[in-house]
Amino acid sequence: MTQITREDCAKLDAADPLAPFRDEFVLPDGVIYLDGNSLGALPKAAPGRVADLIEREWGRDLVKSWNTAGWWDKPRTLGAKLAPLVGAAPHEVVVGDGTSANLFKAVIAALRLAPDRRVVVGETGNFPTDLYITQGAVELMGATERRVDPDGPELAEALAAGDVAAVLLSHVDYRTGALRDMAGITRMVHDSGALMIWDLCHSVGAVPIELSAWGADFAVGCTYKYLNAGPGAPAFSYVAERHHATARQPLSGWHGHARPFDFTGDYVPVDTASRFLSGSQPLVADAALEASLDLFARVDMRRVREKSVAMTEMFIDLTAPAGLGLVTPRDAERRGSQVALSHPDPEAGYPTVQALIARGVIGDFRAPDVLRFGFTPLYLRYVDVFDAATALVEVVRTGEWRDPRFAERAQVT
Ligand SMILES: *Cc1c(COP(=O)(O)O)cnc(C)c1O
């Protein structure tokens, strides 16, 4: 097989239907950004939206904006804009709170829907907050947690016990980048009588998702990764319509009430996904999210997926000479929009990522030994993939990472 050249990559960029989107993002000179799976780049439309909210909606129109600027309904209007990205009906998604809080609501709502089953199954390698929140939720509910490797036979074994209320899995594994068969797993979980909660943090905005068609009961996801909504941007909750009248989440605040402006003393949840809301939302942050979702409204997710697969495939091929271990599944069908590599020397992973950052190639490191590179088809070019892969091979081959300045650990890795 002949290796792809930089000229080949430039030709692919020239023919790329998504290429114009790059100009809609702020991207610093000299940086190849392969960390959009951690914090997406800034859409150029976002600062203007945020400024408008602050200066006009807040500064001039003051409290009237709850009605005139649609502040009260923002969790629902943003949910409706996000819904097509996850294959949901507009009224099944609400934007609000953070992923951790929304996980807590979903796990407890699922346990309450299955009072005779007391086990929540999670995955051993999930992002820690999913594990910690599950621990907190089961403790509160007098339930127990079981952890499995969902990519092997353990999940089916756990379900066979017949005591599982709910399963919580990530659609794409944050560390390995493995993409799960949402339809097949959800079917298996339902066949056992349990409910299915999906965490979409590493798939929404990167991978086509069909929550309704694939039968999910609940889902959560964050918006600051592939959805480019900015640091600490609010998360979302998906609640399948069949649970709108019955799912009871524990943070029963006034925004989830059927008639919030009656100001009565008793909680009566509304019969929509809005019952997963709690209190007032960060509307300034919502403005940045809205700018990003309006951009995504013009994006064909199938094209995003095609380009993402082409880019991860290319990066895997081009970095092969570095001799690193491939942590991400080799089969593109089972891969999200990232490539995870491991260095044979466990001490080398972190400094290798730092040496790359010094060269302007920004990826990240996830303990214990994963070098993680995210691919965001809306603002990355094929030539960027080529240059990043070339830099990685050089850093590993030359031992550039051994420079002591790359070993110093920052607070956030
Ligand atoms: C990024 C991520 C989170 C983040 O949770 P926050 O509450 O936003 O800090 C949670 N779960 C997974 C799987 C993630 O990848």
Contact status, residue 121 vs residue 146, Cβ threshold 8 Å? yes
Nearest CA to ligand 1 atom 8: 99
Ligand 1 centroid – CA 129 distance (Å): 7
Residue 413, pLDDT score: 78
Kindly report the number of other CB atoms within 10 A of residue 23's CB atom. Answer: 9
Instruction: Label residue 106 exposed, middle or buried (CB < 10 Å: 0-12, 13-18, 19+).
Output: buried
Q: What single letter denotes the amino acid at residue 88?
A: A
Q: How many CA atoms lie within 13 A of 169 on its CB side?
A: 24
Residue 46, pLDDT score: 98
Q: Which of 123, 124, 126, 174 is the best mutation target for the ligand 1 pocket, counting ligand atoms within 8 Å of the beta carbon and taking the most? A: 174
With a 6 A CB cut-off, is 102 part of the ligand 1 pocket? no
What are the DSSP calls for 189-244, one per residue?
A: HHHTT-EEEEE-TTTTTTS---HHHHT-SEEEE-SSSTT---TT---EEEE-GGGT
Nearest CA to ligand 1 atom 15: 201
Ligand 1 centroid – CA 206 distance (Å): 16
Residue 241, pLDDT score: 98
Binding positions for pyridoxal 5'-phosphate: 99-100, 127-130, 199, 202, 224, 254
Architecture of domain 6-30+300-407: Alpha-Beta Complex (3.90)
Q: Which residues of the chain have pLDDT under 70?
A: 1-2
Cis peptide leading into residue 84 (ω within 30°): no
With a 6 A CB cut-off, is 201 part of the ligand 1 pocket? yes
Residue 323, φ and ψ in degrees, nearest 5: 75, 25
CATH 1.10.8.190 fits 49-296, yes or no: no
Ligand 1 centroid – CA 366 distance (Å): 14
- Ligand 1 atom, smallest distance to 101 CA: 7
With a 6 A CB cut-off, is 129 part of the ligand 1 pocket? yes
Residue whose tokens read 């599982």? 164
Nearest CA to ligand 1 atom 13: 127
Residue 409, pLDDT score: 85
* Active-site residue list: 127, 199, 224-225, 372
- Ligand 1 atom, smallest distance to 199 CA: 13
Task: Give the three-class secondary structure for 32.
Answer: strand
What token pair was written down for 278? 């709690």
- Ligand 1 atom, smallest distance to 38 CA: 1
Residue 344, pLDDT score: 87
Buried-state track 258-282, b at ≥16 Cβ within 10 A, e below 16:
eebeeeeeeeebbebbbbbbbeebb
Residue 1, pLDDT score: 54
Residue 20, pLDDT score: 98
Residue whose tokens read 């960390």? 35
Break the chain into its structural domains and give their ranges. 6-30+300-407, 49-296
Distance CA 66, CA 60 (A): 13
Contact status, residue 120 vs residue 143, Cβ threshold 8 Å? yes
What are the DSSP calls for 289-340, one per residue?
A: HHHHHHHHTT--HHHHHHHHHHHHHHHHHHHGGG--EE-S-SSGGGB-SEEE
Residue 119, pLDDT score: 98
Residue 333, pLDDT score: 97
What token pair was written down for 257? 């009430």
With a 6 A CB cut-off, is 199 part of the ligand 1 pocket? yes
